[in-house]
Structure 1
């Protein structure tokens, strides 16, 4: 009983330390994003006036900068933005004048569907295929699929998306290629992202399967003549859980980056396209708010993965980083 209580105390202390580090990282990240926006070339006021067809006269630019608070010092602007975050707000967009949080939430649903759909399809396809190839190393099917993955790694996402759009939207008008108003609009974008991500997942899972199959305790368990229904889940797959979990959790930023390219090509009215347009327009509140929300989601996702590591293998200490395990 004492050991269980001691373990719970250590786990709670480690979680609190991780949460503290998470808060410090978010503060540093917010400062980095805020500074980067001020150092980026291009003035938001001038760009807005040019976009609406007005001449960016100095008086008009100065009025807009005063209205947006850009005439204040760097410290004053940063403190005002941080106070808005603590109040549950992200400011108002320079271009539309609407609250950034409202605009982001209205565009999150299609992007979350796109990322979640491609993420789940990638996992359900690549992990079983990678394990099957690893268990059949050197076979004809293994050589064929492995060669296809090598070719797939060299195919850019934007090229594959355009190819799918041309094939199924122009040559064969089977699927829509613009918008997100129906389920069919998600087919081509999800297919493009899933294909590009799956080739990497298949190669990694295949290498994990081959590597762990050659460990001494795995070979000893196989030599005991255990039934496949016992051997694979209890020995091989269990030992591969942590590296596969690491592969899955660290791939999330890649799916988000892929969604930016895909939404741009398919004119997908989602969060990623909205953030990219804000970067072009130098809409500081939108860029800063979007970056913070993405960072919070990724940090929390990685924090949850660290907790899963501890439950998957109690020998792992939460107070250590992944590269120190």
Structure 2
């Protein structure tokens, strides 16, 4: 287990370094940062002075090392538009996005895992076809359209839930359902396929031959093994939710990290965009690493391979 953990940590560090280089170069490839910071009305001497003040006149390698050293200490500079420290903006917005992502992932797992199990047990019946239809519909339906539909039904017509904001837990119900429905099809299909494979295995047939109760066979023997790949997928989907929440946060006016990313991109606020890309990437890398280690702990075959 120790060797497996060290290998996965080295891979995660390599990916983190690659992402940091990519996020740094992305902004430098977008144009002259000094001109963007100074604004369209700035004169030549002002641009030169800004380039000197921000260290943009240094070699690219020196700029990257200076930026990476500051990023390790959570110093991402100051926002050009908000005139605040970037880390303070992230600290204020990130909890909202994490809260939304956790609830959305819970909604997806709560619906998709039981639905996948039932579809596998009732294979080739109308229940199985209904579950697969829901999966296809979830992939084909745009998340913003589904979110607007939820607002129209539950906020405008029924008046059960608020339309926008993040004041109470009620504000997160509709966004979490809209975001969770995006991840539900993949989780449901993987659970169904895993259950079908496990239910056809020898040890499940042996358990049936011994006369064990069907519920015990289904939960203790089948689901326990079929859910292992779902753990890794859930971590990946959670990372996708954090990165893809920009649309849902814009629809429901949630002041999270996605909304901050949208505002920063529209206003050419490069330090904020750079920090958001880096932070979300690091969270995604950490989630995949945790999922790999948990899977290896649950399934010794992964450690040996």
Q: TM-score w.r.t. structure 1 length?
A: 0.84
1:40 aligns with 2:39: no
**Residue aligned with 1:138, SS:** coil
Structure 1 CA distance, aligned partners of 2:169 and 2:245? 17
Contact 1:179 1:267 (8 Å CA) reproduced: yes
- Residue number in structure 1 paired with 2:297: 311
**Residue aligned with 1:251, SS:** helix
Give the superposition deviation at 1:218.
2.3
Deviation per CA, 1:193-214: give whole Å up to 9, x if none. Answer: 1223223322321222223222
Q: 1:284 aligns with which of 270, 281, 284?
A: 270
- Residue number in structure 2 paired with 1:219: 205
Q: Which is further off, 274-283 or 302-311? A: 274-283
Q: Which is further off, 222-231 or 183-192? A: 222-231
For 1:10-159, list aligned pairs within 5 A: 11-41=1-31, 43=33, 45-46=35-36, 49=39, 55-159=41-145
Q: 1:196 aligns with which of 182, 205, 218?
A: 182
- The change in CA–CA distance for 1:148 and 1:16 in structure 2 (over 3 A counts) is closer
Structure 1 CA distance, aligned partners of 2:31 and 2:177? 36
1:174 aligns with 2:163: no
Q: Which is further off, 13-22 or 29-38? A: 13-22
Contact 2:236 2:287 (8 Å CA) reproduced: no
Matched residue pairs, number?
A: 305
Contact 2:103 2:176 (8 Å CA) reproduced: yes
- Residue number in structure 2 paired with 1:4: none
Contact 2:97 2:258 (8 Å CA) reproduced: yes
Contact 1:157 1:258 (8 Å CA) reproduced: no
Q: TM-score w.r.t. structure 2 length?
A: 0.90
- The change in CA–CA distance for 1:85 and 1:174 in structure 2 (over 3 A counts) is same
- The change in CA–CA distance for 1:47 and 1:177 in structure 2 (over 3 A counts) is farther
**Residue aligned with 2:253, SS:** coil
Contact 1:178 1:266 (8 Å CA) reproduced: yes
Structure 1 CA distance, aligned partners of 2:15 and 2:138? 35
Structure 2 CA distance, aligned partners of 1:62 and 1:176? 50
Structure 2 CA distance, aligned partners of 1:219 and 1:31? 52
Gaps of 5+ in 2: none
Give the root-mean-square deviation of aligned CA atoms: 2.3
Q: Which is further off, 207-216 or 117-126? A: 207-216
Give the superposition deviation at 1:281.
2.9
- The change in CA–CA distance for 1:24 and 1:147 in structure 2 (over 3 A counts) is closer
- The change in CA–CA distance for 1:149 and 1:282 in structure 2 (over 3 A counts) is same
Q: Which is further off, 20-29 or 31-40? A: 20-29
- Residue number in structure 1 paired with 2:237: 251
Structure 2 CA distance, aligned partners of 1:255 and 1:262? 10
Structure 2 CA distance, aligned partners of 1:28 and 1:148? 37
